[in-house]
Chains A and B, each alone.
Chain A
């Protein structure tokens, strides 16, 4: 074994025999080969037709029963499913790894649309805590308010709440975009690692506390900044992106984006900046 006191930090772990490959900061990234069809196919997903539409009344169903029925309808090729009477039930619509147009005529409880990858969802009510947790891709639109931990740990997709949200929105998020039409509570963007959060209204205390990376845009007042969160310059590129995003999201299209504040992480994290050049920390 090499002398660990003298080897560079980069090669220390290799010298200890913990791994053999040279880490570059992109070890988690997988590159798709178009010739490998399986890379574009999830086991257990279905070919659905968006023009094939049905309704499902879940009034007297438990959440597992409702979720199984949604899966059953997708297996029959239904690409547009309208859920009636969700009645604030928890864990509805979880684990959908499929393209699907899903509409909820009412409100959801906790953990709605969790761990999904691909569906386009419209919820014509409110949602409880932890909506769309771990969303990978797709779009979830909530017409009213949302509870705390909105979009916790999402990795992709667009998550839009037209009303106000509770505390810890975008906690631990690793990608994607969260857009809030109203106000947001305390600890928004707590330990955020990547992605973007847009809040058109006011935001509570400790905004972006302990954030690693990513960007937060705020249109209203900020209660207070969390540890490591700092202001950054709002560029022309940012404004163009905000306008486009708000228009596509059908929310705040005419909002004066030039007056928004931009908040990023002010802390230098070793071996982290390489990962996403577009999210460089402009403030330091």
Chain B
């Protein structure tokens, strides 16, 4: 089933970490195998924030294995050394969990593709997100458990999207959890509810164009698909509209960039989405109770129609 939620404040910042936690926790009955957050925090925009993992948290059906912390330490050392070699300077580092790290990097990036390929060439290392505002945090458990584990409730920013996952297409682990980073684009993230039926066909085409897939989760295709369209010169909205034709299956998904948030619904409208829109806030989720967690008063909400694409700016 899975549940997705997102919100964007227009013209102001808010405690989006706490707000998204409330929205996703309200959807936990839709799946609590894993929960993920893509938070767009207030930053000075100078440095990159890289969220990455050097190991897995393994649940049911995962093809990964739990490893010793010493293995993670060794991988971290290689990452640090590689960053120096490619000219990235670590300004600040945090290691929330043995396998999960957050670096602030001073790096003059013209091409995140080369950067990402170099870092992810280290076995067991995956970049969860890279951007000047975006931070993707995902792990096993429900929204509150993940929020508490990573202390996300105090994060202030403009917008956020998140996902409560019931694993169906692949195992329970972090690599299959949403949101997915729109590799190799800075500050692009995707969450998805549904199933894509032409995943392998699209994946083969995109891999031949140099795009990377870290999991076998069909939702990852959306992030890569949109990223490839943007790489070819499309705007976010154009890429999303194109996806309605290029992706087969049933889906509702959100895409966020540094300054915008978008939603798309498949042409059969087979997956739910409830939307609230005002001048200063847009909130949306798989169920109205998600929106109610941030707007308990009586409000007007609606279901977007089939084949609808919408994009909002901060």
Contacts and interface: CB of A to CB of B under 8 A. Distances in A.
A185 B305 contact: yes
A177 interface: no
A186 interface: yes
Interface string A140-174: 00001111100000000000000111111000000
B269 A185 contact: yes
Interface in A68-113: 87-90, 105-107, 109-110
B280 interface: no
Contact of B306 (A90, A128, A186): A186
A126 B288 contact: yes
Interface in B244-282: 267-270, 272, 274
Given A107-B301, A126-B302, A204-B305, A166 B288 contact: no
A263 to B, nearest CB: 18
B20 interface: no
Interface string B289-314: 10110001010111101110000000
A90 B288 CA distance: 9
Interface in A168-226: 168, 183, 185-187, 204-205
A266 interface: no
A28 B289 CA distance: 40
A126 B267 CA distance: 23
A109 B302 CA distance: 12
B176 to A, nearest CB: 26
B173 interface: no
A106 B272 contact: no
Contact-residue size bin, chain B (C-beta under 8 Å from the other chain): 20 to 34
A129 B301 contact: no
Given A88-B287, A109-B288, A128-B287, A148 B269 contact: yes
A125 interface: yes
Given A107-B301, A145-B301, A185-B269, A167 B289 contact: no
Nearest to B296: A87
A107 B301 CA distance: 9
Nearest to B26: A88
Contacts of A148: 269, 272, 303
Contacts of A183: 305
B272 A145 contact: no
A87 B269 CA distance: 24
16 contacts: A87-B289, A90-B287, A107-B288, A125-B298, A128-B272, A128-B274, A128-B287, A144-B300, A146-B303, A147-B272, A167-B306, A185-B269, A185-B305, A187-B268, A204-B305, A205-B267
Interface of A: 87-90, 105-107, 109-110, 125-126, 128-129, 144-148, 163-168, 183, 185-187, 204-205
